[in-house]
A and B are shown apart, each in its own frame.
Chain A
Amino acid sequence: QKEVEQNSGPLSVPEGAIASLNCTYSDRGSQSFFWYRQYSGKSPELIMFIYSNGDKEDGRFTAQLNKASQYVSLLIRDSQPSDSATYLCAAALNTGFQKLVFGTGTRLLVSP
């Protein structure tokens, strides 16, 4: 069973701090990785995707990928209470054109 694993949290950080969310995956053939944000009672929305080793920045968000360690992370700088949500990591398997495997998500709480 190909898996994507995340710590369920909650991860609690104060407003203005950096939140670091982590994800590991088991299938070495996974080619691309996605971070979705899901507010309570809402559907997931795509924040970022990353295909290559290294860092990818978009505003306050940075995705990091290390394929050798099978590790993906999402950093949120200057965390705001509005960032409080569950963050889902997903991997696209090399065998499927678009089939994603999702982790169970990490709940982030940003306190004012």
Chain B
Amino acid sequence: DVKVTQSSRYLVKRTGEKVFLECVQDMDHENMFWYRQDPGLGLRLIYFSYDVKMKEKGDIPEGYSVSREKKERFSLILESASTNQTSMYLCASGRAHEQYFGPGTRLTVT
């Protein structure tokens, strides 16, 4: 079975803090993704990566950056957290068009 893990299920941070969200997959997938999910807005793609050290902007990259130093690990960085970044963050990995999601991190920025 595909396994995608995320470093935290729940996280509370203060406005202005730098926040790191980690994602690890164990299926040797080339492609990894970061989404946020908000009520009424659905899943929105923040960034994705199709290879180590490669990254592409998704639909809502502003305020975020990513890092992929190893194939199995994809990190999402909030450079300076703001309250409008309070959300559920979901990591996914996959090949072709199939994507497998991690359990999610519910981030609250106060």
Contact = CB atoms under 8 A, between A and B. Distances in A.
B25 interface: no
Interface in A36-66: 42-46, 49
Interface string B68-110: 0000000000000000000000100010111111111000000
Interface string A58-98: 00000000000000000000000000000010001000011
A1 to B, nearest CB: 9
B103 A42 contact: yes
Given A49-B98, A98-B96, A98-B97, A43 B104 contact: yes
Contacts, number: 47
Given A44-B101, A49-B98, A105-B42, A98 B90 contact: no
Contacts of A102: 42-44
Nearest to B40: A104
Contacts of A100: 45, 97, 99
B46 to A, nearest CB: 12
25 contacts: A34-B97, A43-B90, A43-B101, A43-B102, A43-B103, A43-B104, A44-B90, A44-B101, A46-B99, A49-B97, A88-B42, A88-B43, A97-B31, A98-B31, A98-B50, A98-B94, A98-B97, A99-B58, A100-B97, A100-B99, A102-B42, A102-B43, A104-B41, A104-B42, A105-B42
Contacts of A92: 97
B34 interface: no
Interface residues of A, number: 19
A45 B94 CA distance: 12
A111 interface: no
A99 B45 contact: yes
Given A43-B104, A105-B42, 13 more contacts: A43-B90, A43-B103, A45-B101, A46-B98, A46-B99, A46-B100, A49-B97, A92-B97, A98-B31, A98-B50, A98-B96, A102-B44, A104-B41
Contacts of B103: 42-43
Nearest to A102: B43
